[in-house]
Chains A and B, each alone.
Chain A
Amino acid sequence: MIVYVLPGVGIYGGIKVGFRFVDALRALRIPAVVATPGGAAPRWFSSSAPVVAQESLLPALSGADTVLFSLPHDHERLRATGARMMFHCQGTDPLIDPVISDSAVTVLTCWEQARRYVHEKTGRASLDVGISVGDAFFGRYGSRVSGSITYMSRRGRTDVMAQMSLPAGTSVRAVDGEPECSVAEIMSATDVFVAVAENEWFGLPALEAMAAGCIVVSVPTVGGGFLRDGDNCIVVEPSLLGSRIQELLESPALGARLRRSGVVTAQAHRSSVQRDLLRHLLASQQLVFGP
């Protein structure tokens, strides 16, 4: 079996990225399943991946099986299963160092900064398997409320938004705990998405916002290589967020250009693009499952 082990099904990007990866594999005839505690399935985004209970599945694994995981804490207990291990690297916290240093573990990375991190720390080459934005975010280019701003409070400092001085008529909405379809709906009616989390590794919400046609204003992130200041978004220090947003709202031409460029950036992360990448990796046997 090919099993992606996840620690839960709460609203965390890593959970969604894991399920999306399994969906992509299954679309390519790789019969992967997801294992969660108690066999719980997520209810906040769309997927068709089968879910099984870790408690019953993990003891039955053997060397003929493959386990994928993204939480470094799972490393030791999964090693005990005897299954072949693949680490789906979704962050570059030093906690992952023992995992990526383990030669028995194949390392898959989702973005360039993670690939560099693995190489710098271990000298190993990881396999870039990409990352994708849900289809729900694309093609929603209808009417937007001018001057409306959305941000994800869970992912960053709410005080940054509270302290910001914004022009009159600007409306700010925090998104937290919403299912993906609602987030897509909100983003599609919003002018500007502000990414306020300074320690974001990749920043999938900013990419989702681009897909939904928002203008993205982001604080600098660790791994968000897709954020190009002045090209497809505005990248700015937190202390300058308010003034840059004000400038943006006063310049419709700049906003329109960033919005268009953002959509193009997001298109490169469609699920079909990731599937094409995985198809190539499988066909060229760079990505191999099984013993």
Chain B
Amino acid sequence: MNLTAIIPSVGLEPLLRQCLSCLAVSAERAGVASVRAIVVDNASLLPYDLHRLGSDLSVEIVRFDRPRSFAQACNQGAARVAGGDVLFLNNDVLLNPRALTDVLSARDELGADITGARLVYPDGTIQHCGVLFDGGERGPYHVWHRQSSDLVARGHRRFQSVTGAFLLMENALFTRLGGFDERYPFAYEDVDFCLRAGGLGAVIACAQGVDSLHFQGSSRTERAYALERVSRELFFARWRGRFTIDGTEDDPV
């Protein structure tokens, strides 16, 4: 397996170092033959430096002096990938040592073209274990969000979408779909991508065997929330009435 991780990141250098370290351990445990990371420095005040990052992995830094959207940052990183598999990974995700093994097992078991991972908050509650869609105003939502991970079933499962915080697929599929839609300023680009992939017949799944940490929101600003609202409006303008409903409004938010 030839894996390239794309990690968009702004500041939070100690967290990024830990993210890279966990990726290296998880890849080694999974027996990934070749792994490298492309860190997309999305206008950090102090630009990242390979020496300071000090990773065991082969790391390349792509630097933007002005901030780009998550979609643009990911697409720019992915433009440097020639083939193999690509993993989109948030800088605040610390992979479980067995995470990649688990994800590859789910991919094989379910024949998945796109595979996500179970992510938990530091308190052990679910941040992500798949995305369902309800027919009301909520639209796509993280199933079992904020429920104790210990109480949520461990069987790998198919979904219409998984989070972009951890998204593994063949680079060819990402390229075929033209990457993330850069009109999304922040959030929902991942769901949009998965729905478009589904339209090509792609199978999407989420591995559930182990928990990886996701400090989601640790770097979120008021501006990010405002951009998320814009993304949400764009998503609904495009997809309302065009995704099937596999969740219910009774599910916990």
Interface residues of A (CB under 8 A from B): 1-2, 19, 26-27, 29, 31-33, 38-43, 45-52, 179, 181
Contact = CB atoms under 8 A, between A and B. Distances in A.
B241 A41 contact: yes
B118 interface: no
Given A41-B241, A48-B158, A51-B244, A29 B110 contact: yes
B110 A41 contact: no
A41 B242 contact: yes
Contacts of B203: 26, 29, 31
Contacts of A51: 199, 242-244
Interface string B215-243: 00000000000000000000000000111
B201 A33 contact: yes
A40 B242 contact: yes
B244 A29 contact: no
A238 B89 CA distance: 63
Contacts of A181: 248
B241 A43 contact: yes
B135 to A, nearest CB: 5
B33 to A, nearest CB: 26
B202 interface: yes
A45 B246 CA distance: 8
B10 to A, nearest CB: 33
Contact of A52 (B160, B199, B241, B248): B199
Contacts of A46: 244-246, 248
10 contacts: A33-B198, A38-B242, A41-B242, A41-B245, A42-B245, A47-B245, A50-B195, A50-B199, A50-B244, A52-B199
Say which size band chain B's interface belongs to: 20 to 34
A42 B199 CA distance: 15
A177 to B, nearest CB: 14
Interface in B21-64: none
A48 B244 contact: yes
A49 B244 CA distance: 6
Interface string B191-217: 000010011111100000000000000
B67 interface: no
A50 B241 contact: no
B70 interface: no
A29 B111 contact: yes
Contact of B158 (A1, A19, A26, A42): A26
Most A CB within 10 A of own CB, among B110, B111, B160, B242: B242
B194 to A, nearest CB: 9
A154 B199 CA distance: 32
Contacts of A47: 244-246
Contacts of A26: 158, 203
B253 to A, nearest CB: 18
A283 to B, nearest CB: 15
B242 A1 contact: no
B245 A43 contact: yes
B159 interface: yes
Contacts of B160: 48, 50
B200 A42 contact: no
Contacts of A2: 201
A48 B198 CA distance: 10
Contacts of A52: 199
B14 to A, nearest CB: 40
A-B complex: 10 closest residue pairs judged by Cβ atoms: A50-B198, A31-B201, A29-B111, A48-B246, A47-B244, A52-B199, A41-B244, A39-B242, A43-B135, A50-B199
Contacts of B111: 29
Most A CB within 10 A of own CB, among B110, B159, B243, B246: B243
Contacts of B159: 48
A40 B239 CA distance: 9
Nearest to B250: A181
Contacts of A49: 244
Contacts of A33: 198-201
A52 B243 CA distance: 9
A181 B243 CA distance: 18
Most B CB within 10 A of own CB, among A1, A33, A51: A51
